[in-house]
Amino acid sequence: MFASFMINTWLVATVVAVVAGCVGFFVVARGASFAAHALPLGAFPGAAAASLFGVDPLLGLIVAACAGVVGIVWLGRRERHEVATALCLVMLLGVGALFLSMTSQYSQSVYALLFGEVLGVSDRDLVSISAVGGACVLLVVLLFRPLLLGSVSAELLGAQRLAGRHMELVFLAILALATAVSLPVVGALLVFSLMVGPACAARSLSSRPGCAVLLSVGFALVTVWAAIALSWESDWPVGFFVGALGVILYGLGRFGTRVRILSSLDDSTC
């Protein structure tokens, strides 16, 4: 489990967990779960195109994710936000199907893009993922207050002389970067689980934003580390355990929220 060839696996999983935990808090706080689900699925065509043209897959992911952000923001001006997200998702999935049909490594590419390839991370991949992930976390730290205000109320942003639409674009751009970092490791279908499950559990345990973010990162770390360990022992796919643990954490978060609500009702009754 801790052999030399597994070092990159542990390191890249740690980077992805920290990024997913930080961004996931704002995904849950802003009610942007659909965007967090759509952007990873819409970004994988970028990796397919990169594989087809022989360039760095991470670059393709960033380009595709940014294209999805631009499409969501542009269409969102004319349609409801969820409609714009759905339209961009369908368009990007169609483009991805086109690119995948042009490559000879169809089945292998689809599996890696959808379910990740955490055991096949090279030194070059580790450096690039760490650089983009570090930039993503730095943006969250620098913009923590306006992102938090935008999650609560657009009027609060206006009071701080910040445009809500601009912060929405910034948030989606950060989400796109987090998607680009996480997708090669855990896959398009599991990025959503890693972002939402730990963050929901963290919010149910703490009402303080800073503490909730730290808890979200901690839960995400436990998820990916446990997934790797369980996969090593059972020889089952890492993705299965990431998804299962994400669902468990989400369930615990919902249960914790219900317990807090019932406790507050009992206190008010007394």
Q: pLDDT per residue over 174-197, tens digit each?
A: 888 888 888 777 777 678 888 888
Residue 269: per-residue pLDDT: 60
Burial code (b: 16+ CB inside 10 Å, e: under 16) for 114-134 equals bbbbbeebeeebbebbbebbe
Q: pLDDT per residue over 83-112, tens digit each?
A: 777 777 777 777 777 777 776 655 565 666
Binned at pLDDT 50, 70 and 90, residue 265 comes out as low
Percent of the chain's residues with pLDDT above 90? 13
Q: pLDDT per residue over 7-28, tens digit each?
A: 888 898 899 999 999 999 998 8
Q: Is pLDDT above 60 for 252?
A: yes
Residue 15: per-residue pLDDT: 92
Contact yes or no for 171/154 (Cβ under 8 A): no
Burial code (b: 16+ CB inside 10 Å, e: under 16) for 64-81 equals bbbbbbebbbebbeeeeb
Neighbouring residues of 175: CB distance < 8 A, sequence distance ≥ 6: 23, 27, 32, 35, 36, 39, 69
CATH superfamily ID and name for 4-269: ABC transporter involved in vitamin B12 uptake, BtuC (1.10.3470.10)
Residue 153: per-residue pLDDT: 59
Q: What is the mean pLDDT of the segment spanning 133-141?
A: 91
